[in-house]
Structure 1
């Protein structure tokens, strides 16, 4: 049974399963369209993309051109000037094969656009002309999230949220409820660190104002989320599983958002700072092969310039994470530590 919810003041009636279209940029066009069409045929009607997601918008356009009016399409712009805003919007409309976007979102930009900002005025003009139906914002920074909500200018907020989240995120969800702002939960699987989709769905199912957008790139992943319904609730076993997972991960872990990149020393921060977790949660991926060893060796080139720390929305001590993950990796490689 499809679970429907209202997405805040947009009044969208959406399937509780939202489709996060970032991962399909890693699939070929044929496979992507097959996944998208199966999602639609099974009741998923909210699709989230971004200009930043390479060919994701184009694949959505080709999959849904004939049934455009039956779905909600959300996309994003990461630009910070009015000129680039209009260029992005024009490109998105062309790629999506549509003359309007249901929800257009500022995409994790360096500030929260306010009423007097030229960038927000451009967004408002696009809404007045009908090419944008509703205005939202996405961010990884809690301060920007509260600024957006306090401004009263946004109909939705997209923010990382999963069963790994803490009190700050829960308060944000409640604040959105009180303000009737739709809460779109990105990274519902913890940036790839959560393995149990049923536990994730059951956790989200507690919040009637939260729309999770699952990043899907395999039919098998889609089938998992389609199998869950109103009866998928947090059982005692799932609660116990979640508590153990939270205890194992702690709070000082990389979510893999990638906003710390690029590194001046070309270190793959997103991979290297999570290696210890990958080794224990997904023993065969990444492996201890020669390619991965070379990637990890690059961490020794870290000069502790802290440019990554300045960009990290979670204010992690990335140089320290890189160091500890490299040491752990070497211990596993040498057999001193078992996984």
Structure 2
């Protein structure tokens, strides 16, 4: 298993890390089992956030005893200094630690800088001086904001969506980070569930020597799949390259990544799944997608107000209302048995 160093942080770990957003969906006992197994299997980097409900608490309980052997990254969505300090103190308490290795501004719409009037970057600096955080990072879903953060030289790590479906402009961001000696933490390596070949996903990441993928894990069988790559990591050979090119052709054009930044919807449409229902049914099949609950959710598209708010908020600049309509039409055909899936 290749080990990578995140930019100038000095943090060196296997190129196979744990994204802890999904563990908020399982109970404490199962979460502890998964997290301990991840550590025992060789994972030493765990990424979470204050926004992920009880994810930090579960990490603290499961891994508190091995704190000195792991690296913890967390995030704050605070937009005021007061909220920043509340978030940080709560994260430290929940994680059962005195410090966080990488503390990140979460999903920013702007590049915080010293003297910009917000006081936000100064909070990071003070927290670092106090030893409560060791390194300053940032996450974003907006490419131009991410580019600005990289160019600023103020951040030690960038967390941004990266997968083999990423477009050229997003891959350029990865190269920018390398040039700036900035660590790159790759989220959404499975494109929000659209990628269902873990070997190809892992092999794609292996070509970068400064990128750390954090795989979102909520089931033991999923975890074992990733841990299996510790001893036998897939490589980006000709077979996988051909497969990836075929996948990119199939998913070329506009598709919803399921990030959820379009929400809330005034018509109560769960847009982040409804706008990609066609792909989810075909690429991540589950009887649940055709349940009465999801039929009701899809029917809500009929009540779309065409307000355009979801389109404005989409970080990928998708025509979300149009995607909703297309997915709803396809969904009705699937229910009627008019198309095969």
Q: Which TM-score applies when normalising by structure 1?
A: 0.97
Q: Unpaired runs of 5+ in structure 2?
A: none
* 1:248 aligned residue: 250
* 1:142 aligned residue: 143
Q: Confirm or deny that 1:63 pairs with 2:62.
A: yes
* 2:93 aligned residue: 94
* 2:222 aligned residue: 221
The answer to whether the Cα contact below 8 Å between 1:278 and 1:285 also exists between their aligned partners in 2 is no
* 1:337 aligned residue: 339
* 2:199 aligned residue: 198
Q: Confirm or deny that 1:283 pairs with 2:282.
A: no
Q: Which residues in structure 2 correspond to 1:90-239 (within 5 Å)?
A: 90-117=89-116, 118-229=119-230, 231-239=233-241
The answer to whether the Cα contact below 8 Å between 2:256 and 2:275 also exists between their aligned partners in 1 is yes
* 1:274 aligned residue: 276
SS of the counterpart of 1:134? strand
User: 1:206-238: CA deviations, max 9, x gaps?
Assistant: 101110000011111111111114652122221
Q: Confirm or deny that 1:26 pairs with 2:25.
A: yes
- Of the candidates 319, 322, 325, which is equivalent to residue 323 of structure 1? 325
Separation of aligned partners in 2, 1:213 and 1:190? 12
The answer to whether the Cα contact below 8 Å between 2:140 and 2:146 also exists between their aligned partners in 1 is yes
* 1:43 aligned residue: 42
SS of the counterpart of 1:8? coil
Q: Confirm or deny that 1:15 pairs with 2:14.
A: yes
Q: Unpaired runs of 5+ in structure 1?
A: none
Separation of aligned partners in 1, 2:120 and 2:317? 27
> Residues 281, 225 of structure 1: CA spacing in aligned structure 2 closer, same or farther, 3 A cutoff?
same
> Residues 237, 185 of structure 1: CA spacing in aligned structure 2 closer, same or farther, 3 A cutoff?
same
User: 1:18-63: CA deviations, max 9, x gaps?
Assistant: 1000000001101111111111112111000000000000001001
SS of the counterpart of 1:253? coil
Separation of aligned partners in 2, 1:286 and 1:277? 14
Q: Which TM-score applies when normalising by structure 2?
A: 0.97
Separation of aligned partners in 2, 1:259 and 1:330? 26
SS of the counterpart of 1:227? helix
Deviates more, 1:276-285 or 1:73-82: 276-285
Separation of aligned partners in 1, 2:333 and 2:245? 28
> Residues 29, 83 of structure 1: CA spacing in aligned structure 2 closer, same or farther, 3 A cutoff?
same
> Residues 231, 222 of structure 1: CA spacing in aligned structure 2 closer, same or farther, 3 A cutoff?
closer
The answer to whether the Cα contact below 8 Å between 1:204 and 1:212 also exists between their aligned partners in 2 is yes
Separation of aligned partners in 2, 1:39 and 1:81? 35
Structure 1 residue 201 displacement after superposition:
0.3
The answer to whether the Cα contact below 8 Å between 1:80 and 1:109 also exists between their aligned partners in 2 is no
Separation of aligned partners in 2, 1:93 and 1:324? 45
Paired residues in the alignment total 338
Structure 1 residue 285 displacement after superposition:
4.5
- Of the candidates 263, 267, 272, which is equivalent to residue 265 of structure 1? 267
> Residues 165, 143 of structure 1: CA spacing in aligned structure 2 closer, same or farther, 3 A cutoff?
same
The answer to whether the Cα contact below 8 Å between 2:24 and 2:53 also exists between their aligned partners in 1 is yes
Separation of aligned partners in 1, 2:239 and 2:51? 39
The answer to whether the Cα contact below 8 Å between 2:108 and 2:140 also exists between their aligned partners in 1 is yes
The answer to whether the Cα contact below 8 Å between 1:279 and 1:286 also exists between their aligned partners in 2 is no
* 1:73 aligned residue: 72
